[in-house]
Amino acid sequence: MRSVQVVMFMLCVLGGLYLLTQAPPFFLPSRGNPAIGLQFDATASRLLGAGLLALAALGSLYLRTMYYSGERRLPGPVAQRRYFGLLLLALTLLLAAMLSAETSPNPDYRPRVELPG
């Protein structure tokens, strides 16, 4: 289980750094209807990358506290406030990225064609 957590941590770090530095525009299709979705511009990509990096910071705090410290004990009030602040920052950045992305039709979507016969 620890290896899965480290892989997810590295995906958040690498994906967040890529989105933050390169800021590529991309389209995220809707789960229910692939004909529509969210079009992310450079600003929304950077917000999403910053949110992923905040999640990676949360993951590093968790991994360090639970697995890579000398003793496993519950964190104190200061560490819990830091964790809560980072969690609030990550959720705010991810929400800001989703709200700043525009809802638009999918540029690559082609409806299924029914052939006669």
CB 87 within 8 A of CB 56: no
Alpha helices, H only, the chain:
2-22, 42-66, 77-100
* CA distances, 51 to each of 59, 77, 98 (Å): 12, 24, 11
Rounded to whole angstroms, the Cα distance separating 26 from 38 reads 8
Which is it for strands 102-105 and 26-29: parallel, antiparallel or unpaired? Answer: unpaired
Q: Provide the pLDDT for residue 13.
A: 96
pLDDT tens digits along 23-48: 999 999 998 888 899 999 999 999 99
Q: Provide the pLDDT for residue 64.
A: 82
Alpha helices, H only, 23-67:
42-66
Q: pTM of the predicted model, to two decimals?
A: 0.84
Q: Provide the pLDDT for residue 107.
A: 85
Largest CA distance in the chain: 71
Q: Provide the pLDDT for residue 1.
A: 67
pLDDT tens digits along 41-99: 999 999 999 999 999 999 898 888 877 777 777 778 998 999 999 999 999 999 999 99
Rounded to whole angstroms, the Cα distance separating 111 from 35 reads 8
Give the residue, 110 or 17, on which the prediction is more confident. Answer: 17
